[in-house]
A and B are shown apart, each in its own frame.
Chain A
Amino acid sequence: GAVVSQHPSWVICKSGTSVKIECRSLDFQATTMFWYRQFPKQSLMLMATSNEGSKATYEQGVEKDKFLINHASLTLSTLTVTSAHPEDSSFYICSATFGDEQYFGPGTRLTVT
């Protein structure tokens, strides 16, 4: 089956620094990937749709300049949280569409101190 990986699985950073999270489709090419954010005991909130070779499409209320998304190849999308603050601490999950199903990565736990 299709496998999506994320790196790192967890990261701790200081307030004001930037953090990059990678999402890779390991055995398939994904023209579209999605980034979600999940708070503890809550549902997944779609942040943006990442399209290979073009700009990401952000959901309403998501700051484009804060959450930079780059989909540089058919197997890699990155999410950079810029000037991170404690309120950015969350579980970030990516997914990719393969055929007619969506496969999720294992998630990245970001803690901003």
Chain B
Amino acid sequence: GENVEQHPSTLSVQEGDSAVIKCTYSDSASNYFPWYKQELGKGPQLIIDIRSNVGEKKDQRIAVTLNKTAKHFSLHITETQPEDSAVYFCAASKDFNKFYFGSGTKLNVKP
């Protein structure tokens, strides 16, 4: 099955700085890579996703890059704000069938 690894487990940045979270996956057949934000006691919320036919996608302060050859993808958050503080999960899926999650990154944005 698919194995998704995520780094770092915790990340602390100053407000306004950028944050980068990286994930690798093992199954080359995976073709959909979403990122989720989870706040304490709540379910994950989709913040951005990328499909295997695209190398980069951007939505305002959030961007995701995908390197299919190396089987890794990254989340980039620019101009971080305190409300960005949460746990972020990457995931990989083949044809939206099963979703396999990374171990999560706790992001702390210090004001």
Contact = CB atoms under 8 A, between A and B. Distances in A.
Contact of B34 (A44, A102, A107): A102
Contact of B43 (A42, A100, A105): A105
Nearest to A94: B43
A101 B49 contact: yes
B44 A104 contact: yes
Contacts of A43: 89, 101-104
Contacts of B93: 102
Contact of A101 (B34, B42, B106): B34
A46 interface: yes
Interface string B36-63: 1000011111100100000000000000
Question: How large, as a class, is the contact surface on chain B?
Answer: 20 to 34
Q: Tell me the dominant secondary structure on chain A's binding face.
A: strand
Contacts of B34: 101-102
Contact of B41 (A41, A102, A105, A109): A109
A97 interface: yes
27 contacts: A4-B43, A42-B103, A43-B102, A43-B103, A43-B104, A44-B44, A44-B89, A93-B43, A95-B99, A97-B96, A100-B32, A101-B34, A101-B49, A102-B34, A102-B93, A102-B96, A102-B99, A103-B46, A104-B43, A104-B45, A104-B46, A105-B43, A106-B42, A106-B43, A107-B41, A107-B42, A107-B43
Interface of B: 32, 34, 36, 41-46, 49, 89, 93, 96, 98-104, 106
Given A42-B103, A102-B34, A102-B99, 4 more contacts: A4-B43, A100-B96, A101-B49, A104-B43
